[in-house]
């Protein structure tokens, strides 16, 4: 059957022009600048950088503007741009104890070296709309003692490791797999899983993490430590032969303390879940840490009883660019596929109608 596939060009061009007009909105209102998005929507920028898998606040802000605030569309734009750039080399692995902290909390120890630093947060707020923001205003922040300094903040889970209540994480020296270069295979390594989760959808990881808390693969977590702050990134270019600092990026790290394992000659001990994300992205890092732990079920010979423990299910569905793409493709013309289904269902109907009649005749 011949199907018309041309003729949509003008309509498509105009649809894009209309979309741009929709994005701009009422022209009596000043246009949003990329700098405004970057500076005044830092949490949206953080999400787009994390899931877009490219740390560049200006480009993430541009993507948010272009996508008219649709963060998944913005993530898609950033992912697409990312493929146009050459990769120089990998960074020196981050040492998060070197972070210039803007927030650091622990839900497992009240008094700890360095203390609990709340930093900027929505926690403890009443979630009442602040009508004062309908007007423009200055927000100078708290009264600061300019001489105040932060004390050293050692890693909280290290206290447990020192007491042998938790295994210490050590570098096994294995080459780092890259799921953007070699496709995932199952069972995946923890490094592959963490890379997939780091790019994964915040909502999906949050829901899966929540499901483990509600009993679908319990792992009884505590937020051992959450850190947010700026970290200096280093890389070692071949031509120089020594590591070079490039500047700072903001990251969020979450270390969960989870239910213990033991028996069969192994002392009872806590287990770990780890989350790391670009920018101020606490919910993302927590969701990631919960799912990292639940995906370690096989390592601890735990029974797989929840979706969050199903490695292939989680890793194949956590990427929102892939998910949105496959769901979106349903909007593409399926005229031929549908015609064949339509014919089939008509044929079935016809058979159903004719068969009883034929049986009646025979009787």
Partner 1 sequence: MNRNLLHSDPQIATRQRWMGVLARAGTGLMTYEAALKEAEYSLIRAPEIGMTLVRGRMGGTGSPFNLGEMSVTRCVVRLIDGSTGYSYVAGRDKQHAELAALADAHLQGPEQQHWLSLMIEPLAADQQRQQAAKAAETATTQVEFFTLVRGED
Contact (Cβ atoms closer than 8 angstroms) between residue 216 and residue 208:
no
Minimal CA–CA distance to 52: which of 81, 78, 84, 80? 78
Is residue 46 classed as helix, strand or coil in its secondary structure? helix
150 binds partner 1 (CB under 8 A): yes
- With CB under 8 A as the rule, give the number of residues binding partner 1: 88
| Cα dihedral value 37, 43, 45, 51, nearest 10 | -160
For residue 235, the minimal CB distance to partner 1 (Å) is 5
| Cα dihedral value 273, 277, 279, 285, nearest 10 | -40
Q: How far apart are CA 336 and CA 334, in angstroms?
A: 6
- List the beta bridge partners of residue 125: none
- Segment lying near partner 1 (by CB under 8 A), choices 22-30, 69-77, 144-152, 301-309: 144-152
Q: Which two tokens stand for residue 258?
A: 């989870």
User: Which residues in 51-70 contact partner 1 (CB under 8 A)?
Assistant: 53-56, 58-59
Q: How far apart are CA 227 and CA 250, in angstroms?
A: 10
Contact (Cβ atoms closer than 8 angstroms) between residue 243 and residue 92:
yes
For residue 129, the minimal CB distance to partner 1 (Å) is 24
The DSSP letter of residue 300 is G
Give the number of other Cβ atoms within 10 Å of residue 212's Cβ. Answer: 24
152 binds partner 1 (CB under 8 A): no
Please identify which residue in 5, 9, 26, 111 interacts with partner 1, judged by CB under 8 A. 111
274 binds partner 1 (CB under 8 A): yes
For residue 299, the minimal CB distance to partner 1 (Å) is 12
- Segment lying near partner 1 (by CB under 8 A), choices 114-122, 208-216, 299-307, 338-346: 114-122
Please identify which residue in 15, 18, 118, 345 interacts with partner 1, judged by CB under 8 A. 118
206 binds partner 1 (CB under 8 A): no
Phi/psi of residue 175, nearest 5 degrees: -60, 140
278 binds partner 1 (CB under 8 A): yes
50 binds partner 1 (CB under 8 A): yes
235 binds partner 1 (CB under 8 A): yes
Please identify which residue in 66, 107, 108, 155 interacts with partner 1, judged by CB under 8 A. 155
User: Which residues in 158-177 contact partner 1 (CB under 8 A)?
Assistant: 168-174, 176
Q: Which two tokens stand for residue 18?
A: 């209309």
Who's near 305: CB < 8 A, 6+ residues apart?
A: 216, 217
88 binds partner 1 (CB under 8 A): yes
For residue 5, the minimal CB distance to partner 1 (Å) is 37
CB of 7 or CB of 173, closer to partner 1: 173
- Segment lying near partner 1 (by CB under 8 A), choices 1-9, 63-71, 234-242, 353-361: 234-242
298 binds partner 1 (CB under 8 A): no
Please identify which residue in 89, 125, 351, 361 interacts with partner 1, judged by CB under 8 A. 89
For residue 4, the minimal CB distance to partner 1 (Å) is 42
198 binds partner 1 (CB under 8 A): yes
What is the β-pairing status of strands 100-105 and 222-235?
A: antiparallel
Q: Which two tokens stand for residue 346?
A: 């008509």
């Amino acid at each position: 059957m011949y199907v018309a596939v041309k003729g949509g060009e003008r309509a498509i061009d105009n649809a894009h022009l209309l979309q741009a007009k929709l994005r701009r909105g009422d022209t009596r209102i000043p246009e949003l600048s990329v700098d405004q998005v970057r500076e005044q929507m830092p949490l949206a920028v953080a999400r787009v950088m994390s899931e877009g898998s490219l740390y560049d606040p200006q480009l993430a802000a541009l993507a948010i503007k272009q996508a008219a605030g649709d963060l998944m569309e913005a993530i898609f734009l950033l992912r697409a741009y990312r493929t146009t750039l050459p990769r120089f080399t990998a960074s020196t692995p981050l040492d998060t104890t070197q972070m210039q902290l803007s927030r650091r909390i622990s839900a497992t120890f009240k008094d700890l070296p360095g203390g609990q630093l709340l930093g900027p947060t929505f926690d403890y707020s009443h979630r009442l709309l602040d009508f004062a923001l309908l007007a423009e205003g200055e927000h100078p922040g708290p009264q600061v003692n300019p001489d105040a300094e932060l004390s050293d903040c050692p890693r909280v889970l290290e206290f447990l490791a020192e007491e042998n209540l938790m295994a210490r994480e050590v570098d096994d020296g294995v080459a780092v797999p890259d799921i953007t270069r070699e496709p995932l295979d199952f069972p995946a390594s923890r490094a592959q899983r963490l890379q997939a989760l780091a790019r994964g959808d915040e909502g999906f990881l949050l829901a899966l993490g929540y499901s483990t808390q509600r009993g679908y693969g319990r792992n009884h977590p505590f937020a051992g430590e959450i850190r947010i702050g700026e970290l200096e990134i280093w890389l070692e270019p071949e031509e120089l032969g020594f590591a070079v600092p490039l500047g700072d990026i903001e990251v969020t790290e979450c270390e969960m303390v989870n239910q213990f394992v033991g028996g069969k000659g192994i002392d009872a001990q806590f287990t770990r879940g780890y989350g790391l994300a670009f920018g101020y992205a606490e919910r993302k890092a927590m969701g990631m840490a919960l799912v990292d732990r639940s995906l370690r079920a096989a390592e601890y010979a735990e029974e797989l009883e929840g979706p969050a423990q199903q490695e292939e299910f989680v890793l194949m569905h956590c990427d929102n660019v892939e998910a949105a793409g496959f769901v979106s493709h349903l909007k593409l013309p399926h005229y031929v596929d549908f015609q064949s289904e339509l014919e089939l269902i008509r044929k079935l109907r016809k058979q159903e109608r004719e068969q009883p009649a034929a049986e009646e005749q025979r009787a």
